[in-house]
């Protein structure tokens, strides 16, 4: 089943009508909320109606009778309560047979509940201490469940503050949370669904003057910028850089769009002693006097990242307005006028939520820097062939295995341009597809003398007697243009041939963004065309491997 989450089941132990209304009224959520009877959480989980996803939001006393007793200061062994948490997890597991994606909220207490006061975290009978144990148990038990995510409800409570919980609305209509708190939950659910569908933002383009540092470098000189030191503004700018650096470590690529003299700005980046972000932290930059919208388009093209994956941060409301108007796909958040609010504004963005953070994500920034160096070599040689030969390209294909399944799923769901069908699958669904005997799925890793691009490709092939079909042909744009595509087809064709297939077919499912796949199939693959979207290779012939590629194929998962 796909993860489009058209039908979102709402399971709650309270009146979720307002929650349902907020989802229904929010067109950007892209879901049709489906309510269940409140107060019947376990029943709803044991026999849920068909849905693409579920959001399960409960109060701890509704799931654990032991915790309910604890609220009345009865003595209840922690083990009893944790066993009830386990029963809740089993109910979630049961629902997964019908609902492929589960979003579960953690448990909170209302702000006014002080429990045992100073003993609440010390005593085994403390509410706060028990709730920590319950949430820890829930997180531990759900951690290895594919397509189950625990959302942090304590952040909704913190952000809504005393306005989040409402005894008045509880007594009036069994609504424990106000619309303020519900909206925060809706936003997090939307972010999670968006991330699972591959919609997370991957690129942050940031301004320099009065954004990355305080002051105008062209006027003041880099020595006089407000950055670090014992100054609230300088410290705030430096902490903002640290926050961006932290973001880059989880796979978000950083770039610069600034109206400045490039030499002056780069000198500041290289020379200012309190800069946290240096040249090597930025995958690309456009520092000139041109329109920033045009520069952002150039940066996105250079990095092969879509504008729909781009965020632009600038202190100047005119620049923000211009980019917002010109490039509606780019997310341009409102930005604080005071730099002391920059870190919070960045950390509050939910557009980076993704279902997994892989090693490839963490190394993404370094990969782009390597690509910049790679392209520099390209400019120094006479021909593309000479450049390709100089790369020392190694393509490694191996059957997908548990350790690579998460990254493979992520790649399948995020990749748009080189993607044969654009099909989106959950990790569980992909695993089930691979388990079928007629199917085979390889992950492809690519490296060269400049660096390791990591797991950047997928080839899925189905062989039924004499007919073989490429089902998934997915390649990250990071490695386009090095004939990795041809090496991947070589793997698919060799497998088809070894399995006795006479023909290897590739059927393109056109999407709004997979034109590069069409161009490869039509112009470079060597496949014969049976129409605009049907291509085939005669398996009696060897599919040639590009001469500059060293291919390492593993027949079994290592």
Q: Which stretch binds other proteins (CB under 8 A): 14-22, 325-333, 413-421, 536-544?
A: 14-22
- 240 neighbors 212 (Cβ within 8 angstroms): yes
What does 191-257 look like in DSSP terms, one character per residue? HHHHHHTT----EEEE--BTTTBBS-HHHH-GGG-B-SSS-HHHHHHHHHHHHHHHHHHTT-EEEEE
Rank residues 96 and 183 by Cβ distance to other proteins and give the closer one. Answer: 183
- 183 versus 201: smaller Cβ distance to other proteins: 183
Tokens of 545: 């491997």
- What is the smallest separation between the CB atom of 347 and other proteins, expressed in angstroms? 25
Considering the complex, state which of residue 33 and residue 365 has its C-beta at the smaller distance from other proteins.
33
In angstroms, what is the minimal distance from the CB of 30 to other proteins?
17
Sole window of 22-30, 220-228, 351-359, 504-512 interacting with other proteins (rule: CB under 8 A): 22-30
- Is residue 18 within the footprint of other proteins (CB under 8 A)? yes
Query: Using the rule CB under 8 A, which residue among 108, 166, 260, 469 binds other proteins?
Result: 166
Closer residue to other proteins (CB): 24 or 116: 24
Residue among 17, 41, 18, 20 at smallest CA distance from 29 = 20
CB atoms within 10 A of CB 358: 18
Query: Is 462:473 a contact under the CB 8 Å cutoff?
Result: no
- Using CB under 8 A as the binding criterion, the count of chain residues that bind other proteins stands at 17
User: Binding segment for other proteins among 153-161, 169-177, 299-307, 507-515 (CB under 8 A)?
Assistant: 169-177
Q: Examine residue 37 and tell whether it contacts other proteins (CB under 8 A).
A: no
Contacts of other proteins in 144-163 (CB under 8 A): 163
Nearer to other proteins, 182 or 488 (CB): 182
Query: How far is residue 65's CA from residue 499's CA, in Å, rounded to a whole number?
Result: 57
| Minimum CB distance to other proteins, residue 199 (Å) | 24
* Phi, psi dihedral angles at 388 (to 5 degrees): -60, -40
Q: Are 12 and 57 in contact (CB under 8 A)?
A: yes
CB 302 within 8 A of CB 375: no
Min CB(31)–other proteins separation in Å: 15
Q: Does the CA dihedral 159-24-19-83 come out positive or negative?
A: negative
Our CB check for other proteins shows the closer of 8 and 430 to be 8
Piece of 35-43, 54-62, 166-174, 324-332 that binds other proteins (CB under 8 A): 166-174
Q: 331: helix, coil or strand?
A: strand
Nearer to other proteins, 17 or 467 (CB): 17
22 scored as a contact of other proteins (CB under 8 A): yes
Q: Among 1, 2, 24, 534, which residue sits at the site for other proteins (rule: CB under 8 A)?
A: 24
Question: Which position among 2, 4, 123, 169 is part of the footprint of other proteins (CB under 8 A)?
Answer: 169
Position among 47, 119, 168, 403 found at the interface with other proteins (CB under 8 A) = 168
In which region does residue 474 sit, left (phi positive, over 0), alpha (psi from -120 to 50) or beta (all else)? beta
Per rule CB under 8 A, is residue 366 in the interface with other proteins?
A: no
Is 80 an interacting residue with respect to other proteins (CB under 8 A)?
A: no
Here the tokens at position 441 are: 């799925």
325, containing H or E segment: helix 317-326
Kindly write down the DSSP assignment for every residue of 383-401, as one continuous string. -HHHHHHHH-EEEEEEE--
Binder of other proteins out of 2, 80, 123, 178 (CB under 8 A): 178
Q: Which of 2, 4, 17, 431 binds other proteins (CB under 8 A)?
A: 17
Q: Which two tokens stand for residue 201?
A: 């933002």
Question: Radius of gyration over alpha carbons of the chain, in Å?
Answer: 26
* Whole-number Å distance between alpha carbons of 175 and 19: 10
Binding mask 181-220 for other proteins (x = CB under 8 A): --x-------------------------------------
The CA-based diameter of the chain, rounded to the nearest angstrom, is 81
Coil, strand or helix at 285: strand
Rounded least distance, CB 18 to other proteins, Å: 6
- Collapsing DSSP to helix, strand or coil, 33 comes out as strand
Q: How many CB atoms lie within 10 A of CB 77?
A: 11
Task: Pick one of 48, 60, 179, 214: the residue that binds other proteins (CB under 8 A).
Answer: 179
Residues at the site binding other proteins, with contacts judged by CB under 8 A: 15, 17-18, 21-22, 24-25, 163, 166, 168-169, 172-173, 175, 178-179, 183
């Amino acid at each position: 089943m796909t993860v489009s989450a058209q039908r979102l089941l709402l399971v709650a132990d309270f009146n979720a009508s307002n929650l349902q209304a907020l989802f229904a009224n929010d067109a950007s959520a892209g879901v049709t909320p489906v309510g269940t009877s409140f107060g019947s959480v376990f029943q709803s989980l044991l026999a849920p109606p068909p849905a693409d996803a579920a959001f399960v939001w409960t109060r701890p006393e509704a799931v654990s009778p032991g915790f309910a007793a604890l609220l009345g200061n009865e003595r209840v062994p922690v083990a009893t309560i944790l066993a009830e948490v386990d029963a809740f997890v089993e109910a979630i597991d049961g629902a997964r047979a019908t609902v492929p994606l589960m979003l579960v909220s953690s448990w909170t207490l209302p702000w006014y509940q002080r429990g045992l006061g100073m003993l609440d975290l010390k005593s085994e009978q403390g509410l706060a201490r028990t709730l920590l144990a319950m949430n820890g148990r829930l997180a531990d038990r759900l951690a290895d469940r594919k397509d189950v995510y625990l959302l942090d409800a304590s952040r909704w409570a913190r952000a809504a503050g005393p306005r989040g919980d409402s005894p008045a609305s509880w007594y009036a209509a069994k609504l424990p949370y106000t619309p303020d708190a519900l909206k925060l939950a809706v936003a997090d659910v939307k972010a999670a669904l968006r991330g699972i569908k591959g919609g997370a933002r991957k690129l942050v383009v940031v301004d320099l003057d009065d954004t990355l540092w305080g002051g105008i470098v062209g006027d003041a000189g880099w020595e006089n910028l407000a950055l670090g030191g014992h100054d609230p503004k300088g410290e705030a700018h430096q902490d903002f850089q640290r926050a961006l650096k932290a973001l880059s470590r989880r796979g978000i690529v950083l770039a610069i769009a600034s109206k400045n003299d490039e030499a002056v700005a780069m000198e500041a980046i290289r020379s200012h002693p309190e800069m946290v972000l240096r040249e090597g932290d930025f995958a690309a930059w456009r520092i000139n006097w041109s329109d920033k919208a045009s520069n952002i388009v150039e940066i996105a093209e250079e990095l092969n990242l879509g504008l729909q994956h781009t965020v632009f941060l600038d202190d100047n409301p005119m620049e923000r307005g211009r980019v917002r108007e010109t490039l509606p796909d780019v997310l341009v958040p409102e930005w604080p006028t005071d730099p002391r609010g920059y870190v919070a504004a960045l950390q509050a963005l939910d557009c980076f939520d993704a279902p997994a953070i892989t090693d490839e994500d963490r190394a993404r920034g370094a990969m782009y820097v390597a690509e910049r160096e790679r392209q520099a070599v390209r400019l120094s040689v006479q021909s593309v062939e000479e450049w390709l030969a100089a790369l020392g390209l190694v393509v490694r294909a191996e059957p997908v295995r548990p350790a690579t399944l998460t990254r493979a799923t992520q790649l399948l769901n995020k990749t748009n341009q080189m993607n044969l069908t654009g099909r989106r699958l959950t990790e569980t669904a992909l695993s089930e597809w691979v388990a079928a005997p007629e199917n085979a799925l390889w992950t492809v890793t690519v490296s060269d003398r400049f660096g390791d691009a990591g797991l950047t490709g997928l080839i899925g092939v189905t062989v039924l007697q004499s007919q073989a079909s490429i089902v998934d042909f997915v390649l990250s744009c990071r490695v386009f243009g090095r004939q990795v595509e041809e090496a991947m087809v070589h793997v698919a064709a060799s497998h088809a041939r070894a399995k006795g297939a006479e023909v290897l077919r590739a059927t393109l499912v056109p999407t709004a963004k997979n034109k590069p796949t069409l161009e490869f199939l039509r112009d470079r693959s060597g496949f014969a065309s049976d129409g605009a979207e049907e291509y085939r290779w005669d398996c009696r012939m060897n599919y040639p491997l590009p001469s500059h590629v060293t291919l390492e194929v593993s027949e079994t998962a290592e």
